[in-house]
């Protein structure tokens, strides 16, 4: 799958967001978790990749099945403010 720089950037942004599950990335871009990990490994510096992996490994919100049913949104309500 060939991604544009904009798509690649957006996937990386979504992967860093705590409340954006991998399923949302798959739905929007067609990349499953292993493909996102591969993209992150390729695009990030080694230290940044290790930080991201450690962060994602501790986040239940990155997987819909592990999420609390109380969490029904994919982002913080103040994240996308009108300009």
Question: For residues 68 and 3, which has the higher predicted lDDT (pLDDT)?
Answer: 3
What's the CA angle centered on 55, arms 53 and 64, to 5 degrees? Answer: 95
pLDDT at 6 over 70: yes
CA distance readout (Å), 11 to 54, 68, 69, 80: 18, 23, 24, 16
How would residue 31 be classed by pLDDT, with cut points 50, 70 and 90? very high
pLDDT of the residue at 66: 62
Which among 54, 4, 33, 58 has a CA at the least distance from the CA of 14? 33
């Amino acid at each position: 799958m060939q991604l544009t720089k904009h798509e690649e950037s957006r996937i990386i942004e979504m992967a860093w967001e705590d409340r954006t599950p991998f399923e949302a990335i798959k739905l929007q871009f067609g990349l499953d978790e292993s493909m996102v990990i591969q993209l992150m490994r390729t695009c990030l510096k080694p230290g940044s990749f290790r930080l991201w992996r450690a962060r994602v490994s501790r986040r239940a919100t990155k997987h819909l099945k592990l999420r609390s049913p109380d969490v029904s949104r994919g982002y913080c309500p103040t994240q996308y403010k009108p300009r």
